[in-house]
Structure 1
Amino acid sequence: MGEKVAAGGFDLSDRQRHRRRLRQCLTALERMLEEKRFDRPQNLMGLEIELNLVGADGLPRMLNHAVLERIASPDFQTELGQFNLEVNIAPHRLSARVLDQLAEELRTGLGYADRKAREVAAGIVMIGILPTLTEEDLGSANLTEVDRYLLLNEQIMVARGEEISVDIQGVERLTYVAESIAAEAACTSVQLHLQVTPGRFADVWNAAQAATAAQIAVGANAPFVFGRELWCESRTELFLQATDTRPPELQAQGVRPRTWFGERWIDSVHDLFEENLAYFPALLPLCGEEDPQRVLDEGGTPDLYELVLHNGTVYRWNRPVYGIADGVPHLRVENRVLPAGPTVTDVIANAAFYYGLVRTLADEQRPVWGRLSFDDAAANFERACRRGIDAELLWPSRRRLGGVAPVSSVSAVPAVRLVLDELLPMAADGLDAWGIDAADRDRYLGVIEQRCRRRVNGASWQSQAFHRELRSGLGRQAALAAMTRRYCELTRTGEPVHTWPV
């Protein structure tokens, strides 16, 4: 959530007014869709990466303001925790050598930021959850002192009405009680944006939902939380529980969590914004001054302030985004499932796999969401988070019965086999459809292929390296720190994680 907000209390009239303004925004969005006011196709993509600040000892450094002062670039911003930063890459057209171009921009920007961070005895690392974080690191005192973070924390805690309880059972079990949402800051991700027209939005969003499990299976990089080994991608479950506004009674009633995979395939972008209003009370009932209908009547583009702000507090793994560029409105799918890291090459490989796969899935005449139930897609998401590269995923296959036309059946398939046999060729076709250079296509999809063939991703490397340190005689905390230091050293080589020695 990047909106600038001012801290302050809310009364009943604020919430009532905000609810009315949200409905006005949704009505304005409906009108804009009907009147075809959105931007034409431009094949634009964007990239955001959340980062951690780490010392030479492998421990977190609460120094984001000091580091940002030294970086002095608008591309880098604060994030929720004082040990976090975020880097934003300007939109690029999906074509030609864009993948190598993005890789070079990231290496240059992150290299510069890392050098500036070292001036205050810190370094920058991309990792889903920093393994050496402790419960004590994630107290309210270590939230970044920015109004929007403090206000969001206050409102989530008020809505919940009690402490946040985290309980995750994986390889080990973590139970944790917090008086703030600071545990959310542990979860650092890559967000991939894709601008789409309204007519294409539903197909692209459905395709992205179907692809999430495969993305996580090959890209998992967060097996440790507060020293406990949990899921291969523990970040998703920790984020869900750390931002949960529901007390246990509402959870038992089946009230939806704000961090949400969803519950159905959609027919229009309107479905998602309408669900956000219908299912989730406003956390930040702030109102702008604009009358969106009047702006439309006068031929302008409304900012839909209330709708955009509310949308930023509903944490869908594939989120709809309304934006304006040069006075023209557009829509984006924001894919939020991937963890940060391990290296720039790995990040760009994950991006190549996503953009290529989603393009092909969205273009299919017989789309996968017509053959795979949404419940199965949601089950795949959880399986991939738990098991990572070793997950088995439900996927529709085609077979012939008695010589008649092929019919679909859904069966469980090892993720690595599904990716190698079916999804990587689809991703390659999708990158070709975008006009990506063949050498870039092969280089970055080759990284995904090698992860599958070697059954290695960031999560599996972390787990193996940690257990090696334990076997060498180190205690748990020392082993986590040693593994983290080694991880940081290897990220600076730039070599993708499947090549790293354990």
Structure 2
Amino acid sequence: MGQDVDRRTFSRRDRQQYRAKVQRCLDVLALMLREHPFARDEPMTGIEVELNLVGRDLEPSLTGADVLHAIGSSEFQSELGRWNLELNLPPRLLPGDRWRHLEHQLLDELSVARAKAVDCGANLAVIGILPTLERRHLVAAALSPDERYTMLNEQMLNARGEPIRLDIAGDDPSGRHGVEPEHLTADFDSIAPEAACTSMQLHLQVHPDSFAGYWNAAQCVAGVQLAVAANSPFLLGSRLWAETRIPLFEQSCDVRTPELRNQGVRPRVWFGERWITSILDLFSENGRYFPALMPVTEDTDPMTELQDGHVPGLDELRLHNGTIWRWNRPVYDIADGVPHVRVENRVLPAGPTPLDMVANALFFYGLLRSLVEADRPLWSSMSFEAAEENFTTAARHGMEGPLYWPGSGWIRPDELVLRKLLPQAAEGLQRWGVASEVIDRYLSVVERRCVNRRTGASWQLDTVAVLEARGADRPTALRGMLERYLEASAANEPVHSWPLPG
């Protein structure tokens, strides 16, 4: 959500004033997009990684506040669950070998956090969903005590008016595990299931004039991203989707009752419904479709600020945007007194290793540059519905589900990446000015992942299957898998090279 709040109750008038203020911010943003200068420097990138803490029993460890205090760094922050942390690395440019240094920094930061966690009786797990979570862990008492999370929990439950329901049907289209699909249904009296989703978020600052192209391109590649980087196949002991984090996040943040869903009311975790021509399209949809969750209104008037020569914060617009979880989200922000806009890519899970995460990031950034600068935009020959179907198919099936791609028809994602998208990503990174040795290092990780058809999700599934075949029950197999995962993840060997139990 990103902004602190200090209110717990709201009146009808609060909500009315907030709606008017969001519209006022939209009007000011529209004026700024026409007349005000935005950042035009080389686009900055950013990365956030959400982390899990586990105890010696490999169950979630509610030591987040203690570990955060022990780390003592502003780059680490609390997250929704008391077993979560978030690492925010400073923004950086793409050219040269900067992202090779980012991998080193990521390794160093995680090493420090891991050591401090050990001092607090815990360990660090960089994974999409902690596989040892059980229903007894996902309760209100496990939420971080931060006021903004307490308030978010209350407001979302009040808006829904009934428990949060998870209903996720699993699938195994490959048949390689030889068992029937599993199905998870459960009700919760808090938004704690949302804390089970730990992701890697990528930011790309672009000029407003090119934002629409970059957002549309990010929507096009979202399914491919998931297919080659899935890392969340288990939830509450059940084998579900390759990237179960997707339906889990959608359902745990769903404030609609079944009746509202049947009416077609849009969800707050949203892929979207159309290609855009301006960033204003997305912010306008936010105001038009979504009621306030936390209608906190500031005293400042953004139009007056702009007329007085100041850059308006657009606080209400930003707060509202923070309670609508698009998989590719628009961001308005200010740095050094200059406004800028960013695409925030929220598609990817955390992990398995720093090397894998940097490879996923550079594959995304390179592919976006190539698609945006293509002679014919991909989204002009691909329906938005096809992009959304690709996203769902990849989340459900990983590399096993064919995706639709203009010029290729229906094609397996690993073949699509190897034949077409890796060369495009390499070309895009060259245009960003990324050093050739950096391109080779990280895109080769994605290449070998596709050649070996091995993602974090497939490794987890295959490892649990081996352990169960040896007689372990599901909880024992999940603990055995996680123990091996933590060791391999800390070694920073890419997941495509991880062995199965011998």
How far apart are the structure 2 equivalents of 1:347 and 1:208? 17
Q: Tell me, in whole angstroms, the C-alpha distance in 2 between the residues paired with 1:186 and 1:427.
A: 31
Tell me the alpha carbon deviations over residues 196-223 of structure 1, each in whole angstroms, 9 at most, x when there is no partner.
0010000000000001011000000000
What corresponds to 2:395 in structure 1?
385
Deviation, 1:444, is: 0.3
- Residue 203 of structure 2 corresponds to residue 193 of structure 1: yes
Which residue in the other structure is 2:498 paired with? 500
Superimposed CA distance per residue, residues 235-287 of structure 1 (whole angstroms, 9 cap, x where no aligned partner):
01000000001000000111110000000000000000000000100101001
The alignment's TM-score, normalised by the length of structure 2, stands at 0.97
1:202/1:267 contact within 8 Å kept: yes
- 2:349 corresponds to 1:339: yes
SS at match of 1:492: helix
Unaligned runs of 5+ in 2: 172-181
Task: Write the distance in 2 (CA, Å) between the matches of 1:464 and 1:92.
Answer: 37
- Alignment correspondent of 2:411: 413
Aligned-pair CA distance for 1:60: 1.1
Instruction: After TM superposition, give the deviation of residue 8 of structure 1 in Å.
Output: 1.4
Give the Cα separation in 2 of the matches to 1:94 and 1:492: 25
Question: What is the CA–CA distance in structure 2 between the aligned matches of 1:220 and 1:428, rounded to whole Å?
Answer: 22
CA deviation string 1:342-401 (max 9, x = no partner): 00000000001000001101111201100000000000000000011222100000xxxx
Partner of 1:452: 450
Q: In the alignment, is residue 290 of structure 1 matched against residue 288 of structure 2?
A: no
- How far residue 475 of structure 1 moved from its aligned partner, in angstroms, is 1.1
Structure 2 residue aligned with 1:27: 27
> In structure 1, how many angstroms separate the alpha carbons of the residues matched to 2:403 and 2:99?
28
Q: Write out the 4+ residue segments of structure 1 that deviate beyond 4 Å after TM superposition.
A: none
Distance 1:289 1:104 in 2: 44
Structure 2 CA distance, aligned partners of 1:55 and 1:76? 19
* Alpha-carbon shift at residue 57 of structure 1 (Å): 2.6
Per the TM alignment, residue 472 of structure 1 is displaced from its structure 2 partner at its CA by 1.4
Q: Does 1:304 align with 2:314?
A: yes
Q: Within 2, Cα distance between the matches of 1:56 and 1:218? A: 31
Match of 2:81 in 1: 81
Alpha-carbon separation, structure 1, partners of 2:440 and 2:135: 42
Farther off after superposition, 56-65 or 343-352: 56-65
For residues 57 and 486 of structure 1, what CA distance do their matches in structure 2 show? 14
CA distance in 2, matches of 1:201, 1:118: 43
Aligned position for 1:68: 68
Q: For the residues of structure 2 that align with 1:213 and 1:180, how far apart are their CA atoms?
A: 30
Deviations 1:323-353 (A, max 9, x none): 0001110000000000000000000000010
Partners of 1:428 and 1:57 in 2: how far apart? 43
**In structure 1, C-alpha distance between the alignment counterparts of 2:376 and 2:387, rounded to whole Å:** 17
Residue 358 in structure 1 maps to residue 368 in structure 2: yes
| TM-superposed deviation, 1:476 | 1.0
The equivalent of 1:99 in structure 2 is 99
Q: What does 1:224-235 correspond to in 2, within 5 Å? A: 224-235=234-245
Asked if 2 retains the 8 angstrom alpha-carbon contact of 1:26 and 1:274, the reply is: yes
Superimposed CA distance per residue, residues 452-493 of structure 1 (whole angstroms, 9 cap, x where no aligned partner): 000000000000001111111111111111111110011111
Say whether the 8 Å CA contact 2:7–2:296 is kept in structure 1: no
- Name which of 242, 255, 260 aligns with 1:245: 255
Partner of 2:47, secondary structure, is strand
1:433 maps to amino acid = R
SS of the residue 2:145 aligns to: coil
Q: Is the 8 A contact 2:56 2:123 kept in 1?
A: yes
**Which residue, 349, 360, 372 being the options, matches 2:359?**
349
Aligned to 1:401: none
Deviations 1:181-203 (A, max 9, x none): 11000000000000000100000
Q: Cα RMSD over matched residues?
A: 0.8
Q: Is the 8 A contact 1:7 1:150 kept in 2?
A: no
What residue in structure 2 maps to residue 488 of structure 1?
A: 486
The whole-number CA distance in structure 2 between the counterparts of 1:103 and 1:162 is: 44
How many pairs were matched up? 490
Counterpart CA distance in 1 for 2:216 and 2:80 is 29
The residue aligned with 1:137 is 137
Moved more, 368-377 or 467-476: 467-476
Residue 216 of structure 2 aligns to which amino acid in structure 1? Answer: N
Q: How do 1:141-152 residues align onto structure 2 when only pairs under 5 Å count?
A: 141-152=141-152
Alignment of 1:367-386 (within 5 A): 367-386=377-396
Query: What is the Cα deviation at residue 58 of structure 1?
Result: 1.9
> In the alignment, residue 456 of structure 1 is paired with which amino acid?
R
Contact persistence 1:56–1:485 (CA under 8 A): no
Range 388-397 or range 378-387, more displaced: 388-397
**1:434 is matched with which residue: 432, 437, 446?**
432
**Equivalent position amino acid for 1:321 in 2:** V
8 Å contact from structure 1 (residues 57, 485) kept in 2: no
Aligned-residue sequence identity (percent) comes to 50
Can you list the C-alpha shifts for 1:267-312, whole angstroms capped at 9, x where unaligned? Answer: 0000000000001001010011211001110111000000000000
Q: In the aligned structure 2, how far is the partner of 1:430 from the partner of 1:56? A: 44
1:433 deviation in Å?
0.4
Q: Distance in 2 between matches of 1:469 and 1:367?
A: 47
Supply the AA of the counterpart residue of 1:214. Answer: V
For residue 99 of structure 1, report the CA deviation from its aligned partner.
Answer: 1.6
**Contiguous gaps of at least 5 residues in structure 1:** 398-409
Does residue 213 of structure 1 match 2:210?
A: no
Give the residue type in structure 1 aligned to 2:372: A
Query: What is residue 178 of structure 2 aligned with on the other side?
Result: none
- Alignment of 1:257 with 2:267, yes or no, is yes
1:65-105 Cα offsets, whole Å, 9 max, x none, are: 01001000000000000000000000001110022011011
What is the Cα deviation at residue 231 of structure 1? 0.2
Residues 437-463 of structure 1 deviation map (CA, whole Å, 9 limit, x = unaligned): 100101100000000000000000000
2:179 matched to which residue of 1? Answer: none
1:58, 1:466 → 2: CA distance? Answer: 15
Q: Is the 8 A contact 1:390 1:455 kept in 2?
A: no
Report what 1:12 is aligned to: 12
Q: TM-score, normalised by structure 1?
A: 0.97
CA distance in 1, matches of 2:80, 2:155: 15
Counterpart CA distance in 2 for 1:54 and 1:390 is: 31
Amino acid corresponding to residue 295 of structure 2 in structure 1: P
Deviation at 1:165, TM superposition (A): 1.0
Q: Note the C-alpha offset of 1:413.
A: 0.5
How far apart, in 2, do the equivalents of 1:429 and 1:3 lie?
A: 37
Matched AA of 1:471: A
The 5 A counterparts of 1:315-334 are 315-334=325-344
Alignment partners' CA distance in 1, 2:496 and 2:399: 12
Q: Partners of 1:57 and 1:371 in 2: how far apart?
A: 51
